[in-house]
A and B are shown apart, each in its own frame.
Chain A
């Protein structure tokens, strides 16, 4: 199922990592983004007058029910509440067909680190697939899993964990 499109960079230091000859290596240049941006869909974000530019991240935030859908423990199915939220996102995305989004998948801390990376990917893709089924071109949607690395709530209780099992839609301006 996974179609492997892999380019191996064998010791091709200069090719991929310009900074690699330096002693302090952490600053990796951003890896090339997979999908070349179709023309940036929106103009520059709104002028500082408080005006919200149509099609912008701020507009998205204002227009949709929520940018976040939640999941059950170790689950990744889109429940009715999530459907309603994603429907509102789909409506907005239909209105602005050039806008690209990324969906972040997140988990609570009650899973092991590496499993959570897989689970976050499941959640992000569940949201993506739902939007795709609503007519949003999959090519407009990238996904990234953060596992349990970026919790929204930092408590260690059911309430916090419920908030952290989530998929967050981010508009790429």
Chain B
């Protein structure tokens, strides 16, 4: 698996400002994230009401070099596009159209022409460069400036193998996003989901994995068996999911690196709804036996499953709190589906949802402060509430939205939306937790059951 090594390869700005020749190999420096206090801050509570104008000009290269990822001048343009797309997707920024921005010369990267940038109305400016290194790697420099204060806010450098060049752009976008919003990063992350083709009565479902922006898409299974509800392991090296392989609905762990998979628990009953615990030690799942469904946990290394719920009814859809001490789940023990919280050992089960309609698919935010869910009241809608059940807010309003999954920073939620009728298909979406900025996630085919993975190291 790829490792991202960070090098803070920065241009010596004083020299670069005047130098005619491209700056020499930048001197490594320490991590500069979050440096400087005050200055430009993006209002995250206001959401999309006033997205911040930001300029992200094409990243120049000191020398055009062909690499396995393409030539460095092409990459420089693509990098700025990816960064702009990430930031736009957050709903908090309005990147200026690159075509309207003047080209940045290599020596200018660390010494912006602030007068020009002020004239563009941009409040923030992201400049950078790309360089092909002698060892085959690429270095991407990333600099964020406050245009009106005319100062640098943060700078970072990323050294990546060519195959991972897009990750450098995501890391740069994460650097910018975190510095300006105070929120955690989330662009350098992946989504695993179920790709769908074929007629509605006989859908072909395949596991697929992609970057959160839809790039680097690949299929993991071939569609011979129905597969459902994949989830990343916390270490991102494997995926747990449910499959009808052999016509026995069971839970499997798929190792992303090797492509190997193994059955988690082989038994006579239907097992489904698998989830890893935050430390990866446990797999939570549901088992239906004789018409009754309960929640169990089993060591991710194997062993005897432990039953956590015993009430008559369908108890399913468990999700751990980020500290692993609690589990939120749904149960119809009171009649319709409602949300409950229990301790990780199954004790102290308490209902937390009391609104009208049914509540399903609860998922604990990685920040711990919210539960996302599907509300069934006529339409299916994605909503959030506090872990004690208060502050319910619905984020989407369509015919059938289901299956929320949190971004690694707990700021956005991905879910799937089903279309009506025989020709209706499912698509992946993201919505901000303020309920604004709903947008489609591009997939080559239809898709459902998205699960957002952790931030990549």
Query: Are the C-beta atoms of B201 and A7 separated by less than 8 Å?
Result: no
Chain A residues within 8 Å of B293, by CB: 117-118, 121
Query: Are the C-beta atoms of A118 and B260 separated by less than 8 Å?
Result: no
Assess A117 versus B268: contact at CB under 8 Å? Given A2-B294, A8-B303, A154-B421: no
Query: Are the C-beta atoms of B262 and A118 separated by less than 8 Å?
Result: no
Interface check A99, CB cutoff 8 A: no
Assess A8 versus B298: contact at CB under 8 Å? Given A20-B260, A25-B259, A156-B420: yes
Interface check B137, CB cutoff 8 A: no
A23→B200 CA distance, assembly (Å): 30
Query: Are the C-beta atoms of B270 and A121 separated by less than 8 Å?
Result: yes
Stretch at the interface among B114-122, B245-253, B435-443: B245-253
Query: Are the C-beta atoms of A13 and B259 separated by less than 8 Å?
Result: no
User: For this complex, into which size category does the number of interface residues on chain A fall?
Assistant: 35 or more
Query: Are the C-beta atoms of A16 and B270 separated by less than 8 Å?
Result: no
Interface check A17, CB cutoff 8 A: yes
Query: Are the C-beta atoms of B289 and A118 separated by less than 8 Å?
Result: no
Q: Looking across the interface, which residue of chain A has its beta carbon closest to that of B399?
A: A156
Chain A residues within 8 Å of B286, by CB: 114, 117-118
Count of residues in B whose CB is under 8 Å from the partner chain: 79
B224, B261, B265 interface centre (most CB from chain A within 10 Å): B261
Query: Are the C-beta atoms of A121 and B291 separated by less than 8 Å?
Result: yes
Interface check A34, CB cutoff 8 A: yes
Shortest C-beta distance, A7 to chain B (Å), equals 5
Shortest C-beta distance, B400 to chain A (Å), equals 7
Interface check A122, CB cutoff 8 A: yes
Interface check A119, CB cutoff 8 A: yes
Chain A residues within 8 Å of B261, by CB: 17, 20, 25, 28
Interface check B180, CB cutoff 8 A: no
Interface check B254, CB cutoff 8 A: yes
Interface check A48, CB cutoff 8 A: no
Shortest C-beta distance, A4 to chain B (Å), equals 6
Query: Are the C-beta atoms of B246 and A29 separated by less than 8 Å?
Result: yes
Chain A residues within 8 Å of B270, by CB: 117, 121, 144-145
Query: Are the C-beta atoms of B268 and A10 separated by less than 8 Å?
Result: no
Q: Which chain A residues in 33-84 approach chain B with CB under 8 Å?
A: 33-34, 74, 76
Q: Looking across the interface, which residue of chain B has its beta carbon closest to that of A34?
A: B268
User: Is chain A's binding surface mostly helix, strand, loop or mixed?
Assistant: loop
Assess A144 versus B247: contact at CB under 8 Å? Given A6-B265, A113-B402: yes
Query: Are the C-beta atoms of B248 and A31 separated by less than 8 Å?
Result: yes
Assess A113 versus B449: contact at CB under 8 Å? Given A4-B305, A16-B263: yes
Shortest C-beta distance, B148 to chain A (Å), equals 49
A125→B229 CA distance, assembly (Å): 24
Chain B residues within 8 Å of A25, by CB: 220-221, 254, 259-261
Query: Are the C-beta atoms of A9 and B266 separated by less than 8 Å?
Result: yes
Assess A2 versus B290: contact at CB under 8 Å? Given A28-B246, A28-B261, A112-B361: yes
Chain A residues within 8 Å of B304, by CB: 4, 6, 8
Interface check B288, CB cutoff 8 A: yes
B206, B294, B422 interface centre (most CB from chain A within 10 Å): B422
Q: Which chain A residues in 91-110 approach chain B with CB under 8 Å?
A: 109-110
Q: Which chain B residues in 218-242 approach chain A with CB under 8 Å?
A: 220-226, 228-229
Interface check B302, CB cutoff 8 A: yes
Interface check B86, CB cutoff 8 A: no
Q: Looking across the interface, which residue of chain B has its beta carbon closest to that of A32?
A: B266
Query: Are the C-beta atoms of B292 and A8 separated by less than 8 Å?
Result: no
Query: Are the C-beta atoms of B360 and A20 separated by less than 8 Å?
Result: no
**Which of these, A7, A17, A26, contacts B221 with CB under 8 Å?**
A26
Interface check B332, CB cutoff 8 A: yes
Shortest C-beta distance, B322 to chain A (Å), equals 21
A84→B269 CA distance, assembly (Å): 28
Shortest C-beta distance, A110 to chain B (Å), equals 8
Query: Are the C-beta atoms of B302 and A5 separated by less than 8 Å?
Result: no
- Mask, B253-284, CB within 8 Å of A = 1, is 01000011111111111101100000000000
Chain A residues within 8 Å of B266, by CB: 6-9, 16, 31-32
Shortest C-beta distance, B289 to chain A (Å), equals 4
A25→B332 CA distance, assembly (Å): 36
Query: Are the C-beta atoms of B292 and A1 separated by less than 8 Å?
Result: yes
Chain B residues within 8 Å of A129, by CB: 291
Chain A residues within 8 Å of B226, by CB: 146, 149
Assess A24 versus B222: contact at CB under 8 Å? Given A10-B301, A112-B337: yes
Assess A27 versus B380: contact at CB under 8 Å? Given A1-B292, A112-B337, A112-B402: no
With contacts A6-B266, A27-B224, A115-B314 known, what are 16 further pairs, Cβ within 8 A? A2-B290, A4-B267, A9-B266, A10-B301, A13-B262, A25-B261, A26-B206, A28-B243, A28-B252, A32-B266, A33-B248, A119-B314, A129-B291, A145-B270, A149-B244, A154-B421
Which residues from chain A sit less than 8 Å from chain B, CB to CB? Answer: 1-13, 16-17, 20-34, 74, 76, 109-115, 117-119, 121-122, 124-126, 129, 144-146, 149-152, 154-156
Nearest 9 A/B pairs, CB to CB: A10-B302, A30-B246, A118-B314, A121-B288, A125-B291, A2-B289, A118-B293, A28-B245, A154-B422
Which residues from chain B sit less than 8 Å from chain A, CB to CB? Answer: 199-203, 206, 220-226, 228-229, 243-250, 252, 254, 259-270, 272-273, 286-294, 296, 298, 301-305, 307, 310, 314, 316-317, 330, 332, 336-337, 360-361, 374, 376, 380, 400, 402-403, 418, 420-422, 424, 448-449
